[in-house]
Each structure stands twice: as structure tokens, then as C-alpha cells.
A and B are shown apart, each in its own frame.
Chain A
Amino acid sequence: MAVLLLAEVTDGELALDATAKTVTAAAELGEVTVLCCGTSAAAAGDAAAKIEGVAKVLVAENESLGHRLAESTAALIVSLADDYEHIVAPATTDAKNVLPRVAALLDVMVISDVSAVVDGDTFERPVYAGNAVQTVKSKDVKKVVSIRTSTFDAAGEQGAAPVETVNAAEDPGLSEWVEDKVAESDRPELTSAGVVVSGGRGLGSEEDFELIEKLADKLGGAVGASRAAVDSGYAPNDWQVGQTGKVVAPDLYIAVGISGAIQHLAGMKDSKIIVAINKDEEAPIFQVADYGLVADLFTALPELIEKLD
């Protein structure tokens, strides 16, 4: 049984970690063909061909496929869908934009944020902000599935699989890209970082949020934030961890000035080691923390940064 995997490609570059983790999940379903598309996607295709378990790569290059627009990307996937029983992608914002559109065009349900593959029809997925896990069995002929990458290991490397080019589908002409506002950063990517330091409302201001960034840099980690910190303008939206933000599972997660609302826990409670620093000993974050420090963050953080030398 064949699987078509939509690779995460941004500005011509393959997001290797997210794609390789999705290959691990997809390989449980059948033979994996990876689709790389964009204005330019050939380099991404070559990189994807080297992910262990990939049988073939399709590259579709066209202006209309640039910037991951949902309408044209969905049209392309539907034009290829006949040959595949599963259509799979990492559960990124790009794929969440595209896959439900693909599923509806194929008249099947989408299965979002899958955390485990049971068999070709049966999948586990968290619901209710991770307070429950559903096992669902699809009755559809085709399964359109997004994969929660934090629960799968990245596939390794192999000698390059064959790469073919395919044509873009006709551009539906419904949308145009205007601009991307992407902050450049030398820090590791939030969803694949080994260490994540997150700050919440307790930081109190954008200036003081830099304490979080300092600690993250000390540990070579990524920076996360609670919704309250993002809403208050201390941190950009793409740092939000949680039910409706990013889901992370690093080796070490340090939550500072974060109360531990269920919506936040949904995005980080599968981390290996959780540290919480909060001045309120009753804060729910302590219920999931391996190491909890009841302290004022404004004294604890500078001390921690210093003592980690």
C-alpha cells in the first residue's frame, strides 16, 4: 500500500527533522513517496531522497506552489491522489492548512495530529487538549493524516532514492502570497530542540523576557512562551507552546513564571525532564514538574544562569 508524504518545504529548503519524523510514522503504513513542492523544490527533493525509508521522491516546481498556498498545493495533491491510499504530512501549520482541504476534495475525513499508528486504518490522537487519547478507525477508502512529530523519532539516512518531477495542477487562482514575517534566529528550532526554556506572564515585560532567552542561550536551547506571554507582547506568536501552539517534547523543558494551565501542558507534558520555577507553590505546573523550585524568578533566573557556567 502506497503512502504520499507531503514534505515540509519552506522557501525551497526541506525541514529535515519534521519530514524525517513523519517518514518514520508513514513507513508503518506502506511504501513512502515524498512530495516536495514550491517555486523551487529540487534541492529539498534531493535532501528528502536521502531519508531512510523513502522509496521515491516527487518534485513539483511552479510559481503557484510557492509560499505553501493551500489552494494550489491541495490541487496538486488531489491530482496525484489516485495512486495512494494514505496521504500524510507533519502536523505543522502548513499541513494543517492544506490537508483538510485535500480530504474534503476527496470526500474523506482528515485525521489530525496522530500520535501513534495502530494499523493502516487505525490511529491514536490526543483530544480535549491532551486530556484524552482517542483511538479512531477510519472507514474511508483514503486516509489523510497529519502526524504529531514530537512522538516519533526521525528516520536515519540512506543512499538517495530516485527523484521524479511532476507537474503542478492548474492554479485555482484563489490566493496570492503577500509577505512573510519571519524572525531570523541562531537558536535551534522550537519543535526539534533538545532543550526548551519557556516564559509566562510572570516575566512581566518584554525586557525581562530576555532572562528566558539568556537561559536558553546558555543551554543551547530554544525559547518558548505561554499564551499569556505572547498575548501580552513579551514574545512572538511562533513561540507559543500548547494546545493551540506548538507541541514540544525536548529532553529538558524549563517553565518559568508559567502557571501550568491545561492548554499549556498540552504542548509540553511529554518532555523528558520538566523543571518549573514559580513563586506560587500551588501552581499546577508543579504537578507535572520533575524538579520544582518555588522562588521569585527575578532572583532565581540570574542565579541559575550564573551557576550553569
Chain B
Amino acid sequence: MKVLVPVKRVIDYNVKVRVKADGSGVDLANVKMSMNPFDEIAVEEAIRLKEAGKVEEIVAVSIGVKQAQETLRTALAMGADRAILVVAAEDVHQDIEPLAVAKILAKVVEEEQPGLVIAGKQAIDNDMNATGQMLAALLGWSQGTFASKLAIEGDHALVTREVDGGLQTVKVKMPTIVTVDLRLNEPRYASLPNIMKAKKKPLEEKTAADYGVDVTPRLEIVTTSEPPQRAAGVKVGSVDELVAKLKEAGAV
């Protein structure tokens, strides 16, 4: 079985996000960019399935600016076999919406015929949590979202999902789309030799137009602003003082 893993290039989760003063967005020029943390978990899961003999080939796909090449190289260095870059934007500030990403991924799925797609549950930039579900809809496939456990068993998969009430396990028909949550696994770091080897792995470059997908956003971003800041509080010197303050504020 072949597995497709969509990986997104996003602002590194450790970077302090700066909203541009003119309200036009978040400053992404010259900031550290990395693979979306959930997608590292997705790549790791694909590699573990390959190591377990359930998967033959792992194809990583990224959609966005040309620089997403670096993200794909990271996936290759971790252990993906080949990569597809779909260039759909020129400006690093242009985010491709989940619907357009899902449409492109649906075309890639048609071409590549994977038996499984493993995506992240959420991109930490737009915080949409949508692409996997949208892709499943477009393909008419089942979906196993927010996975903390995945077991492939022939023509179906058992997916344990992190839900508001606790955990839910569902049995989904293959082929399927799984989106991964934080506790599915701990992604490996790429070793230096593997980073060198990754440079020789195939990375195919395409454009959104090659797939005939219109990536014009459906949601116009009118403004981007700073969230309201909290006023500075006080330090209390003791538990007694804390209790007194809370009583004074009517909080306890």
C-alpha cells in the first residue's frame, strides 16, 4: 500500500507571532518556518507503518510557495520515499485554503492511488482543522480524525480518536483519511546521513494549474489584528494574601 502524507510549511511553533501594524496580516518574512508539528506526527506514523511492513511507499505532498521544498526535504530526511511540491502561491503571506488544498490533494490521490492518507489534525497557522475532512468528502472516503491510535487491518482501520468526552474508537473502511493528534507518536529527528540522502530522493514539482484547481480564496481576509492584551496583574507574597485577594474579588 502507498501512503500519501500532506505536509504544510508553517511558522515555527516557537516563534513569537507579530501582527503587522497595518492590519494586513502576520509578518512571515524572515521568520523561521518549519513543518507543521502535526504533520511531523503524520510522517512518523507513515514511517512506522512502513517499518511494520504494512506500507511500501510514502509520498509527501506540500502545497504553497516554492520554499515548501524545504519542508518536503525534511519529510524525505525523516523517511518519506518521494515528494510532490505543488506551487500555488508566490508570496509567503498567501495561505492556500483547506478547500483548495483538499481539491489539489484529491487530484494527487487520483493520480497516485494511495490506500491511505495521513494528515495533521490542524495547521498551527490558520488553525482551521479542516483539510483532511474536506479531502475525505471530495473523494467519498471514510475519515478517522484526531487519531491517537491507528491500526490497519486489511480492508478497514481502527482509529482511536481524541474527542471532547475522552476517546472514541471507530472502524473505518479503507481507503481512508486519518488526521493525527498530538499523542499518536513521538516523531523522530532526521539524522545527518538521512538529511544527506534526502537530497537525492525524487522531488517532483507541479503547479495548481497542472491539476486545474482554482486556488482563489473563498474567505477574504479583511483585517488581521492583535488580540486584546490582558492588563498586568500583581504578585502576591503568600497563600493568605492570595486567598484575601480572591475573596475581595468575589472569586471564591
Contact = CB atoms under 8 A, between A and B. Distances in A.
Contacts of A304: 239, 242-243
Contacts of B142: 71, 174-175
Interface string A166-205: 0000001111111111110000000100000000000000
Interface in B120-141: 121-122, 124-138, 140-141
B224 A96 contact: no
A175 B170 contact: yes
B221 interface: yes
A293 B236 contact: yes
Contacts of B234: 290-292
Contact of B124 (A129, A139, A252): A129
B226 interface: yes
A150 to B, nearest CB: 13
Given A110-B98, A111-B219, A67 B239 contact: no
A108 B221 contact: no
A275 B220 CA distance: 38
Interface residues of A, number: 90
Given A177-B170, A238-B165, A103 B130 contact: yes
A175 B173 contact: yes
B133 A100 contact: yes
Contacts of A134: 221, 223-224
A243 B148 CA distance: 17
B130 A136 contact: no
Q: Give chain B's interface secondary structure class.
A: mixed
Contacts of B189: none
A237 B167 contact: yes
A237 B183 contact: yes
B226 A132 contact: yes
A100 B130 contact: yes
Contact of B223 (A130, A135, A289, A307): A135
Given A136-B222, A174-B142, A92 B164 contact: yes
A69 interface: yes
A75 B222 CA distance: 32
Contact of B141 (A113, A174, A292, A293): A174
B148 A135 contact: no
Given A126-B227, A130-B227, A134-B223, A175 B182 contact: no
